[in-house]
Structures are given as structure tokens and as C-alpha cells.
Chains A and B, each alone.
Chain A
Amino acid sequence: KNQVEQSPQSLIILEGKNCTLQCNYTVSPFSNLRWYKQDTGRGPVSLTIMTFSENTKSNGRYTATLDADTKQSSLHITASQLSDSASYICVVSASNTGNQFYFGTGTSLTVIP
């Protein structure tokens, strides 16, 4: 069964600290993996998109990694800011007919001063 699981479900960190969010998936055949940031009351915003051959991609203070062998991805946030408080959603696309894609339930991150 194609699934995407994220951990932790929620996380609270101090401003300035680093953190890492996890995404494990069982989607097959794999096409790509995306990380989104969703602020409260807004639509998700794309952070990174990674294909099978990519194992690291950065977007400012956000760095995503992908291990296609173990079917794991992580999103590392460096020097967190209050504005990083949001939900982070992992989405995996399958490359079969219909281009199905599967959403994780998200990690809610709260950055406190």
C-alpha cells in the first residue's frame, strides 16, 4: 500500500536552533518527493522537489535529503526563525498511470522566542 508517514507529528524549538523533520514512504514506483510549508490559514508553498537521482537539495535555510534505497527523506531547518512556525508536508509522486501522489499528515513546527 502506498503511504507517506511523517514524524514527529509536532515539534517545538527555540528560535535560532536547528531541527530535522522526517518522511518515510512506501510509494512505488517512485517519481519525486516534495516538501511543502503551510502557514496557518494559507495554502501550501513548495520548498523543494527531488527526483530519484538527487539526494540533497537546499532552499535557503531549508535542506532536504532523499535516500531512495531506504525510502526516507528529511527536511533540515537551520537557524530557525519565528516565521518558520508552520506545518511541513511531505508529498511523494508515483510514476505510474495517472501520476498519483500521496500526502503525509504533516509535522507542525512551532518556533518560540
Chain B
Amino acid sequence: DTAVSQTPKYLVTQMGNDKSIKCEQNLGHDTMYWYKQDSKKFLKIMFSYNNKELIINETVPNRFSPKSPDKAHLNLHINSLELGDSAVYFCASSRSLLGSTDTQYFGPGTRLTVL
């Protein structure tokens, strides 16, 4: 009964490939997020979806495209993978946007390695 789940946990792929990471939350939350954590452990928000609408779209390359088929899912698709995309990607959810005091719940992360 994991609150926020991600698949796969590990992803190793060649440069230039296209890959997707899936995220699902069973908390009934309205808002979901994607973060990238680099090798220095710095977390950076990539996208935020509130009720299936994009709210925050930080300056990430357009090779990254979030897709939210419904409130419980926010998938991340990456085209033409580059070496610099290697990182741990975290999905998270909260009841509403983080301007409120709602707790944010993170998934276990997906470690992406681009060769």
C-alpha cells in the first residue's frame, strides 16, 4: 500500500534513446511533482501538476515531457537521452500546492543512468 510509487527503480540506457518513468499516488492528492536530484544531492523541481494541469514548468529541456492521464498518475517521458540526464528522479504528491502547509510525499526514486 505504498503511497507514491515509481517504476522502474533503476533505468540504464544508451544515449539518444527515449524512455519513460511512471508515477502513481494512492493518496487522493490533487498535486503531483517531478524532481531531479543530481550527483551532488541537490534537488531541483522540474514539473508540477495540479488537477492534471501544469502549474510549474522550470527551465528544463523540452526533451522532458510530463504526462498526466489522471490525477493519480504523472509520468515523465524523456526523448533523446543525454549523458547529463543521469540522475535520480523523484515523483511526489501533496493535497494541494506547496504554498499551503500540506505535507509532500515522495516516491522512492528512479535512478537513471545514460551510457
Q: Do A and B come from one complex?
A: yes
Interface residues of A (CB under 8 A from B): 31-32, 34, 38, 41-46, 49, 51, 87, 89, 93-95, 98-101, 103, 105-106, 108
B103 touches A99 (CB 8 A): no
What residues of B have a CB within 8 angstroms of the CB of A95 in the complex? 99
16 more contacts with CB within 8 A, not counting A99-B97, A103-B45, are A38-B41, A41-B109, A42-B109, A43-B106, A44-B43, A46-B104, A46-B105, A49-B101, A89-B43, A93-B98, A93-B99, A99-B99, A101-B45, A105-B40, A106-B41, A106-B42
In the bound complex, residues from chain A placing their C-beta under 8 Å from that of B81 are: none
Find out whether the CB atom of B99 lies under 8 angstroms from the CB atom of A43: no
Say yes or no: is B21 at the interface (Cβ < 8 Å to chain A). no
- Tell whether B27 is near chain A: CB-to-CB under 8 Å: no
Knowing A93-B98, A99-B99, the reply to whether A43 touches B107 (Cβ < 8 A) is yes
A residues in contact with B41, CB < 8 Å: 38, 87, 105-106, 108
In the docked arrangement, what's the CA distance between A87 and B88, Å?
15
Number of interface residues of B (CB under 8 A): 23
Contact A101/B98 with A43-B108, A46-B103 known, Cβ cut-off 8 Å:
yes
A103 touches B98 (CB 8 A): no
Per-residue CB proximity of B31-65 to A under 8 Å, as 1/0? 00000000011111100000000011000000000
List the 6 shortest-distance A-B pairs measured between CB atoms, nearest first: A43-B106, A99-B99, A99-B97, A103-B43, A46-B103, A49-B101
For the complex, give the distance between the alpha carbons of A89 and B41 in Å: 10
CA of A34 to CA of B94 in the docked complex: distance in angstroms?
13
Residue in chain A with minimal CB distance to B4: A43
The 8 A CB mask of B81-115 against A (1 = contact, 0 = none) is 00000000010100001111101111111000000
Q: Could you say which residues of chain A place their CB within 8 Å of the CB of B40?
A: 105
With a CB–CB cut-off of 8 A, which chain A residues contact B101?
32, 49, 51
Q: Within the assembled complex, what's the spacing in Å between the Cα atoms of A106 and B107?
A: 19
